[in-house]
Amino acid sequence: MSREKKKISEEKARRIAVGATVAGVLVVIFLVVIMIVQFVQIGVKRSRKERLDSEIEEYERLIEEGNEDLDWYKKGTGLYWFARSYGYT
């Protein structure tokens, strides 16, 4: 039983090459689209992180100012001026 090798015709070889090229181009386009989507998501998350960091800094500043006011009011002088502002003598 001998097997004969069949030659691929020139037309069939051209069709295979075109099909492989089209498949390769489609894979590359698909990967580029995925990369673009990933970059957009990274940008969105980075801007959200920066916004949240600035909000955290603002709240920490407000807490620190509130603590300073609380310390001032805990002292006798602060309590005295607070009472005076409401009309107590």
At a CB cut-off of 8 Å and minimum separation 6, what does 82 contact? 73
- pLDDT for 44 equals 97
Q: Which amino acid is at 12?
A: K
- pLDDT for 69 equals 76
- pLDDT for 1 equals 46
- pLDDT for 60 equals 92
Query: pLDDT digits over 25-77, tens only?
Result: 999 999 999 999 999 999 999 999 999 999 999 999 988 888 877 777 777 77
Tokens of 49: 């992180």
What would you report as the CA-atom Rg of the chain, rounded to the nearest whole angstrom?
37
Nearest to residue 20, comparing CAs of 28, 9, 8? 28
| Predicted structure pTM score | 0.56
Q: What is the phi/psi pair of residue 86, to 5°?
A: -100, 10
